[in-house]
Copies of this chain bind each other. A is one copy, B any other.
Amino acid sequence: MRDALRLAPAAPVTLSSYAADATPVGPREKAAGVAATTAIGPRLADLQERLYAASTAGDTRRVLLVLQGMDTSGKGGTVKHVIGHFNPSGCRIRAFKAPTEEERSHSFLWRITKALPEAGEIGIFDRSHYEDVLIGRVRSLAPPEEIERRYDQINNFERTLTESGVTIVKVFLHVSHEQQKRRLLERLDNPEKYWKFNPGDIEERALWPAYQEAYELALQRCSTPAAPWYLVPADRKWYRNWAISNLLREHLEALDPQYPKADFDIEECRRRLLEAP
């Protein structure tokens, strides 16, 4: 199914042409979608264990899921509901906030590099280096020529990663302007969700067209054969969960990680265990 959600390398992107409540591939209604996602869980856990096991015998491959999307698009919900299928000990999760003073004193890729998954792990980025061509562009946090350079820097960085055994799965969670309003209002209606709300979210929302344009550029410039972007309609949470679970499953299945063979004498070890007191 990943072909149906993958953006073509370097092709222009018009976000308004994608319905955020669409179900372009897979289940079309909630009950079937939830059931299908639940059914994938054990398979994801199995694939992850194989990936981790392979790393103990020298396999350096790893997976990096990059989650990007507007406020309320469901980055945190994806971590909770999709990554929750995995054994937490094999996951390396990092949520990127506004950079610290130390982080700003380095290249924008410095803090990213430090958060990468190790061999056998599944890394998850809630926001990422793409913020530096998104809010960076919209809020003019760097000169235009610097923003321009960053697309190539990102592509080079990601190609180096893929060449060193990192499978990068970049997901843009496509939420609609209307759905964002509903989700922000929900946070104001529920005292248990106040903590997720920030009045600054309203100012960011006012910049919606500029953000959509920045996303369109980033998706076009940084959809590469080595590390394509996937556009996941995110107005329906059950569809988002199904789609990302399946993207991870397909990428892990393509890696086809194998439990390593024993590098010791099984019979001798069994004998020693049975003979000792």
Using a CB–CB cutoff of 8 Å, the interface residues on chain A facing chain B are: 53, 56-57, 76, 79-80, 83-84, 86-89, 91, 93, 95, 126, 181, 184-185, 188, 191-192, 194-195, 197-199, 202, 205-206, 259-262, 264, 266, 269-270, 272-274, 276
Query: Which partner residue on chain B sits nearest A262 by CB separation?
Result: B194
| B270 in contact with A185 (CB, 8 Å) | yes
Complex CA distance for A185 and B195, rounded to whole angstroms: 50
| A264 in contact with B93 (CB, 8 Å) | no
Residue numbers in B under 8 Å from A197 (CB-CB): 262, 264, 269
Copies of this chain, count: 2
| Interface CB pairs A-B, < 8 A, 28 | A53-B192, A76-B89, A79-B88, A79-B89, A83-B88, A84-B84, A84-B87, A89-B93, A89-B126, A181-B274, A185-B273, A185-B274, A188-B266, A188-B269, A188-B273, A191-B261, A191-B262, A192-B259, A194-B259, A194-B260, A194-B261, A194-B266, A195-B259, A197-B269, A198-B264, A202-B273, A202-B276, A205-B273
Complex CA distance for A198 and B266, rounded to whole angstroms: 10
